[in-house]
Structure 1
Amino acid sequence: MPAAPRRPPASPPRGPRHGLARVLSKRGVCSRSQAEQWIRAGRVAVDGRVVRDPAYSMAEGQGGITVDGQALAEAARVYVMFNKQRGLVVSAADERGRATVYDALVEAGLPWLGPVGRLDKASEGLLLLSNDTVWAAGITDPATHVDKTYHVQVDRLPDPALLARLGEGIMDQGERLAARKAALLRAGERNAWLEIVLDEGRNRHIRRLLAAHGIGVLRLVRVAIGGLVLGDLPKGQWRHLDDAEVAALRRR
């Protein structure tokens, strides 16, 4: 009897390859740092074999991943806007024990969500959170130039020349800091509110830019990202974005 024909070996999954921790993050189940912790703890297996290297290379669409013995499923994508109060840290856990935005959302019944960009502890306003890491990266990537609009209360009365200098920018710690737009909203006797628009964000960008011109910040509120406006969403509250809002911010 002739021997049965030999089957060719199965082709490896095609497509871009990423480290295992990044694959878990891209599928929306956890942050990359959480994925690294799970992997190092031996909770993640690929095709039945425990993998402890977060950088273990995998094809983007490759299956066979389990966490704690359960098959890893692609998480439903969730997109949320949150009106951050002053005093909250944008972090899943703070080494100094400070209150975080996740403490404010703990009873919301939401899946794991990562912040789309940052607001520092003293800043307020519109914060996006999502488990769609590709969508989030498109908003935060400096190359996409998505406008972020802030209302900033300052401790002096600016003149047109000062507003022009904010647009011209400065160098600080090796970084160029500038406003795409700086305009006076309203002025009192001793302080004023400015509208400042950035199309890329450095760490404490506005505070550093204003400090370089001798201006102190009394309040800083992000009121819009692209065409998405904070509107009348109360402080400390959140809502889901609708499909049109998600699509309008998609860059990838």
Structure 2
Amino acid sequence: MRLAKYLAEAGIASRRKAEELIKQKRVKLNGNVVETLGVKIDPEKDKVEVDGKAVNISNDKIYILLNKPAGYISSVYDPQGRPTVVQLIKDIDTRIYPVGRLDFDTEGLLLLTNDGDFTNLMLHPRYEITKTYEAWVKGVVSSEALKKLRKGVLLEDGITAPAKVRIIKRGRNETLLEIKIHEGRKRQVKRMCKAVGYPVLRLKRTGLAFLNLNGLKTGEYRHLHPDEVERLKLMAAGRRC
């Protein structure tokens, strides 16, 4: 088994983040700092450590839905010492990590887990898991801007896929939009809105597939029901529920 996959299955981080930990020389294998990616291990024999702590795969998979507050990093650890979303989860001892990320100042629905395969299903673009956002933008959004968002916006990393966009509320100097996308580009909603001339003032993710924030105040969380986890996996496999 590759070391990055092992770290993901142990709930340390996603595979991509696990590779970053290796590059940062924070991972040891049998007492030695791992210098390169692609290292393979025997989980039954080898001893793996991250930041000096032993790593083991737990058979108990955990899936948490958090209503993330602004002012938290979507990470397990922040070198700048800022608060992380993991610190909001109080009732478990198992290592978990966020599925994807929300910006420091972005609020809303964020999943956390120790299941690496589940994380891959949720994040891989080919599975097209819909994410719903409420975006408060500066200015009164024009019909032309709405058309551009719905058709696709040219960003520095290419044209975005068509988005579902509707106006929830218009104010004198700002507009509240509902935006649904299935891509996972970095800061995508903020960049889309800025590209059509309406910078985001506040952003909140309100939905992921069929999941929502009903009943959760900011900073609160709940464990996903097994039926919800299975339904998400089926959706990612192309069997719409």
TM-score (norm 1): 0.79
Deviations 1:180-203 (A, max 9, x none): 201111112221211000111211
3-state SS in 1 of match to 2:230: helix
User: What aligned pairs does 1:1-252 form with structure 2 within 5 A after superposition?
Assistant: 18-26=1-9, 28-31=10-13, 32=18, 37-40=26-29, 42=31, 55-58=38-41, 63-67=44-48, 72-105=56-89, 107-250=90-233, 251=236
Compared with structure 1, are the counterparts of its residues 158 and 24 closer, same or farther at alpha carbon in structure 2 (3 Å cutoff)? closer
3-state SS in 2 of match to 1:234: coil
**Mind listing any 5+ residue stretches in structure 1 that lack a counterpart?**
1-17, 45-50
Contact map agreement 2:96 2:113 (CA 8 A) in 1:
yes
Aligned length: 224
3-state SS in 2 of match to 1:89: coil
Q: In 2, distance between residues paired with 1:66 and 1:58?
A: 9
Q: In 1, distance between residues paired with 2:119 and 2:55?
A: 25
3-state SS in 2 of match to 1:248: helix
Q: CA deviation at 1:248?
A: 1.5
Q: CA deviation at 1:147?
A: 0.2
3-state SS in 1 of match to 2:94: coil
**Mind listing any 5+ residue stretches in structure 2 that lack a counterpart?**
none
3-state SS in 2 of match to 1:57: coil
3-state SS in 2 of match to 1:39: strand
Q: CA deviation at 1:222?
A: 0.3
Paired-residue identity, %: 30
Contact map agreement 2:141 2:198 (CA 8 A) in 1:
no
Q: In 1, distance between residues paired with 2:28 and 2:142?
A: 55
Deviations 1:127-147 (A, max 9, x none): 000111111111110011000
Compared with structure 1, are the counterparts of its residues 41 and 103 closer, same or farther at alpha carbon in structure 2 (3 Å cutoff)? farther
Q: CA deviation at 1:67?
A: 5.0
Q: In 2, distance between residues paired with 1:243 and 1:190?
A: 44
Alignment RMSD: 2.6
Q: CA deviation at 1:241?
A: 0.3
Q: Single out whichever of 235-244 and 169-178 deviates more from structure 2.
A: 169-178
Q: In 1, distance between residues paired with 2:36 and 2:192?
A: 41
Q: In 2, distance between residues paired with 1:192 and 1:53?
A: 48
Of structures 1 and 2, the larger Rg is shown by 1
Deviations 1:112-162 (A, max 9, x none): 112111100111000000111111111110011000000111111223322
Deviations 1:58-109 (A, max 9, x none): 57xx6334458x894543100001111011111122222222212323x333
Compared with structure 1, are the counterparts of its residues 52 and 193 closer, same or farther at alpha carbon in structure 2 (3 Å cutoff)? closer
Q: In 2, distance between residues paired with 1:187 and 1:71?
A: 51
Contact map agreement 1:79 1:241 (CA 8 A) in 2:
yes
TM-score (norm 2): 0.82
Q: CA deviation at 1:208?
A: 0.6
